[in-house]
Amino acid sequence: MLAVRVAAIVAAALLLAAASCRPVYSDRPLGGAPVTLPNARLATDGLWCSRHEKSHCWTVTVADARDGVLMLAPLPRERGAGEPVRVHVRHAVTPKAKPDELGFLILSEEDAVLKGSYLWALAAPVDPSMLLVWFPFSQNEAFAAMVRRGELPGRIVAPVAGRSALLGEKTEQTVILENLADEHLQLIVDRRGQLFDLSMTFVYERVWPR
Protein backbone atom coordinates (compact mmCIF):
# COMPACT_ATOMS: atom_id res chain seq x y z
CA MET A 1 0.00 0.00 0.00
CA LEU A 2 -4.08 4.61 -1.81
CA ALA A 3 -6.86 5.49 -4.15
CA VAL A 4 -4.24 7.94 -3.61
CA ARG A 5 -1.01 8.53 -5.17
CA VAL A 6 2.54 8.54 -4.15
CA ALA A 7 1.22 9.11 -0.74
CA ALA A 8 1.20 5.42 -0.60
CA ILE A 9 4.87 5.34 -0.98
CA VAL A 10 5.62 7.99 1.45
CA ALA A 11 3.44 6.30 3.88
CA ALA A 12 5.19 3.12 3.28
CA ALA A 13 8.45 4.49 4.24
CA LEU A 14 7.08 6.02 7.30
CA LEU A 15 5.17 3.12 8.35
CA LEU A 16 7.96 0.73 7.84
CA ALA A 17 10.46 2.77 9.64
CA ALA A 18 8.45 3.74 12.62
CA ALA A 19 6.34 0.66 12.73
CA SER A 20 7.30 -0.72 16.11
CA CYS A 21 10.15 -2.21 18.08
CA ARG A 22 9.21 -5.65 16.72
CA PRO A 23 7.63 -5.23 13.29
CA VAL A 24 6.69 -8.25 11.21
CA TYR A 25 9.24 -8.98 8.48
CA SER A 26 9.02 -10.68 5.09
CA ASP A 27 11.67 -12.47 3.05
CA ARG A 28 10.72 -10.37 -0.02
CA PRO A 29 8.62 -7.31 -0.85
CA LEU A 30 5.23 -8.38 0.50
CA GLY A 31 2.00 -8.37 -1.45
CA GLY A 32 0.50 -9.56 -4.71
CA ALA A 33 1.16 -7.97 -8.09
CA PRO A 34 3.20 -4.73 -8.22
CA VAL A 35 1.24 -1.53 -8.78
CA THR A 36 2.27 -0.28 -12.21
CA LEU A 37 3.24 3.38 -12.20
CA PRO A 38 1.95 5.81 -13.18
CA ASN A 39 -1.51 4.78 -12.06
CA ALA A 40 -4.64 6.89 -12.43
CA ARG A 41 -5.24 6.54 -8.67
CA LEU A 42 -1.67 6.67 -7.50
CA ALA A 43 0.45 9.76 -8.04
CA THR A 44 4.20 9.71 -8.28
CA ASP A 45 6.59 12.63 -7.93
CA GLY A 46 6.07 15.17 -5.19
CA LEU A 47 6.61 16.11 -1.58
CA TRP A 48 4.82 13.95 1.00
CA CYS A 49 4.48 14.64 4.70
CA SER A 50 3.00 12.83 7.69
CA ARG A 51 0.21 14.33 9.78
CA HIS A 52 1.63 13.75 13.23
CA GLU A 53 3.16 15.65 16.12
CA LYS A 54 6.61 14.82 14.79
CA SER A 55 5.90 15.39 11.12
CA HIS A 56 8.33 13.94 8.59
CA CYS A 57 8.59 14.77 4.89
CA TRP A 58 10.05 13.02 1.86
CA THR A 59 10.51 13.75 -1.81
CA VAL A 60 9.09 10.89 -3.87
CA THR A 61 10.05 9.80 -7.39
CA VAL A 62 9.44 6.68 -9.47
CA ALA A 63 12.45 4.33 -9.53
CA ASP A 64 10.88 1.44 -11.48
CA ALA A 65 7.48 2.08 -13.08
CA ARG A 66 6.80 -1.53 -14.10
CA ASP A 67 7.65 -3.07 -10.73
CA GLY A 68 5.99 -0.35 -8.67
CA VAL A 69 9.14 0.91 -6.92
CA LEU A 70 9.42 4.41 -5.51
CA MET A 71 12.46 6.27 -4.26
CA LEU A 72 11.90 8.24 -1.06
CA ALA A 73 14.42 10.77 0.15
CA PRO A 74 14.07 12.55 3.51
CA LEU A 75 14.33 16.30 3.37
CA PRO A 76 17.79 17.60 4.33
CA ARG A 77 16.44 18.96 7.60
CA GLU A 78 14.93 15.58 8.52
CA ARG A 79 17.20 13.70 10.95
CA GLY A 80 20.36 14.52 9.06
CA ALA A 81 18.86 13.28 5.79
CA GLY A 82 19.81 9.71 5.02
CA GLU A 83 20.24 8.15 1.61
CA PRO A 84 17.18 7.68 -0.62
CA VAL A 85 15.29 4.44 0.09
CA ARG A 86 13.46 2.16 -2.34
CA VAL A 87 9.86 1.40 -1.38
CA HIS A 88 7.90 -1.37 -3.12
CA VAL A 89 4.20 -0.72 -3.75
CA ARG A 90 2.09 -3.84 -4.28
CA HIS A 91 -1.55 -4.80 -4.23
CA ALA A 92 -2.33 -6.45 -0.90
CA VAL A 93 -3.91 -9.25 -2.96
CA THR A 94 -3.49 -9.58 -6.73
CA PRO A 95 -6.70 -8.26 -8.35
CA LYS A 96 -8.73 -10.92 -10.15
CA ALA A 97 -10.01 -8.23 -12.54
CA LYS A 98 -9.43 -4.54 -13.21
CA PRO A 99 -5.77 -4.48 -12.10
CA ASP A 100 -5.77 -0.67 -12.20
CA GLU A 101 -8.17 -0.54 -9.26
CA LEU A 102 -6.48 0.03 -5.91
CA GLY A 103 -7.88 -1.49 -2.76
CA PHE A 104 -5.55 -2.25 0.13
CA LEU A 105 -1.85 -1.89 -0.64
CA ILE A 106 1.29 -3.20 1.01
CA LEU A 107 4.39 -1.02 1.22
CA SER A 108 7.77 -2.66 1.76
CA GLU A 109 11.23 -1.35 2.60
CA GLU A 110 14.38 -3.48 2.79
CA ASP A 111 15.94 -3.41 6.26
CA ALA A 112 19.08 -1.27 6.23
CA VAL A 113 21.02 -3.83 8.30
CA LEU A 114 19.31 -7.18 7.66
CA LYS A 115 19.65 -7.29 3.88
CA GLY A 116 17.10 -9.53 2.19
CA SER A 117 14.53 -8.86 4.94
CA TYR A 118 11.69 -6.40 4.41
CA LEU A 119 9.70 -4.19 6.75
CA TRP A 120 6.14 -3.65 5.56
CA ALA A 121 2.77 -2.09 6.39
CA LEU A 122 -0.83 -2.13 5.20
CA ALA A 123 -2.12 0.98 3.44
CA ALA A 124 -5.35 2.26 1.92
CA PRO A 125 -6.05 5.27 -0.29
CA VAL A 126 -8.48 7.97 0.75
CA ASP A 127 -8.14 10.20 -2.31
CA PRO A 128 -5.40 11.07 -4.79
CA SER A 129 -3.52 13.03 -2.14
CA MET A 130 -3.98 11.08 1.09
CA LEU A 131 -2.92 7.66 2.31
CA LEU A 132 -3.81 5.78 5.51
CA VAL A 133 -1.27 3.30 6.90
CA TRP A 134 -1.44 0.68 9.65
CA PHE A 135 1.29 -1.29 11.41
CA PRO A 136 0.99 -4.69 13.04
CA PHE A 137 0.52 -4.61 16.82
CA SER A 138 3.82 -3.55 18.35
CA GLN A 139 4.99 -6.93 19.64
CA ASN A 140 3.64 -9.02 16.70
CA GLU A 141 2.18 -11.81 18.91
CA ALA A 142 -0.83 -12.31 16.61
CA PHE A 143 1.34 -12.90 13.55
CA ALA A 144 3.66 -15.17 15.53
CA ALA A 145 0.69 -17.25 16.68
CA MET A 146 -0.54 -17.67 13.09
CA VAL A 147 2.91 -18.84 11.99
CA ARG A 148 3.06 -21.35 14.84
CA ARG A 149 -0.39 -22.70 13.91
CA GLY A 150 0.63 -23.05 10.28
CA GLU A 151 -1.92 -20.48 9.06
CA LEU A 152 0.86 -18.34 7.59
CA PRO A 153 4.17 -19.69 6.22
CA GLY A 154 7.18 -18.28 7.99
CA ARG A 155 9.67 -18.57 10.85
CA ILE A 156 10.01 -17.45 14.44
CA VAL A 157 13.64 -16.49 15.01
CA ALA A 158 15.83 -15.35 17.88
CA PRO A 159 15.74 -11.53 18.15
CA VAL A 160 18.11 -9.81 15.73
CA ALA A 161 18.67 -6.06 15.60
CA GLY A 162 17.65 -4.26 12.40
CA ARG A 163 16.95 -0.72 11.27
CA SER A 164 14.62 1.19 9.00
CA ALA A 165 16.67 3.10 6.47
CA LEU A 166 13.92 5.63 5.88
CA LEU A 167 13.58 6.90 9.42
CA GLY A 168 16.70 5.55 11.03
CA GLU A 169 14.56 3.70 13.62
CA LYS A 170 15.95 0.63 15.35
CA THR A 171 13.90 -2.56 15.02
CA GLU A 172 14.08 -6.15 16.27
CA GLN A 173 13.36 -9.04 13.95
CA THR A 174 11.56 -12.04 15.47
CA VAL A 175 8.91 -13.04 12.86
CA ILE A 176 9.67 -13.57 9.16
CA LEU A 177 6.86 -14.38 6.71
CA GLU A 178 7.93 -16.47 3.72
CA ASN A 179 6.45 -17.34 0.32
CA LEU A 180 2.98 -15.96 1.00
CA ALA A 181 0.39 -16.89 -1.63
CA ASP A 182 -2.72 -14.85 -2.41
CA GLU A 183 -4.79 -16.90 0.05
CA HIS A 184 -2.36 -15.98 2.85
CA LEU A 185 -2.44 -12.31 1.85
CA GLN A 186 -6.25 -12.39 1.78
CA LEU A 187 -6.25 -13.90 5.27
CA ILE A 188 -4.10 -11.01 6.52
CA VAL A 189 -6.49 -8.47 4.99
CA ASP A 190 -9.57 -10.29 6.34
CA ARG A 191 -8.12 -10.41 9.86
CA ARG A 192 -6.69 -6.90 9.84
CA GLY A 193 -8.71 -6.01 12.92
CA GLN A 194 -6.81 -8.67 14.91
CA LEU A 195 -3.39 -8.16 13.34
CA PHE A 196 -3.03 -4.38 13.03
CA ASP A 197 -3.50 -1.61 15.54
CA LEU A 198 -6.37 0.09 13.71
CA SER A 199 -6.68 2.62 16.53
CA MET A 200 -3.32 4.03 15.41
CA THR A 201 -3.96 5.26 11.88
CA PHE A 202 -1.04 7.05 10.25
CA VAL A 203 -1.98 9.69 7.70
CA TYR A 204 0.29 10.81 4.85
CA GLU A 205 -0.51 13.40 2.22
CA ARG A 206 1.10 15.04 -0.75
CA VAL A 207 1.63 18.71 0.04
CA TRP A 208 3.31 19.60 -3.28
CA PRO A 209 2.31 19.82 -6.02
CA ARG A 210 -1.31 20.36 -5.09
Alpha carbon distance 46, 67 (integer Å): 19
pLDDT computed for residue 79 by the predictor:
53
1 within domain boundaries = no
Domain assignment present for residue 106? The answer is: yes
**Does any domain span residue 24?**
yes
C-alpha–C-alpha distance, residues 88 and 64, integer Å: 9
Residue 167 lies in a domain: yes
Q: Does any domain span residue 2?
A: no
Report the Cα–Cα distance between both ends of the chain, in Å, rounded: 21
Assess contact for 15 and 202: CB atoms under 8 A. yes
In a domain, 186, yes or no: yes
pLDDT along the chain (210 residues), means of 10: 43 47 93 87 83 79 94 72 86 81 91 96 86 85 96 97 85 95 96 90 88
Examine residue 137 and state whether it is found in any structural domain, yes or no.
Answer: yes
Return the pLDDT at 82: 67
Cβ-in-10-Å burial (0-12, 13-18, 19+) of 54 comes to exposed
d(CA 92, CA 77): 33
Number of compact structural domains in the chain: 1
Question: For the chain, what is the radius of gyration of the CA atoms?
Answer: 15
Domain range spanning residue 95?
Answer: 7-208
Grouping H, G, I as helix, E, B as strand and the rest as coil, residue 186 is helix
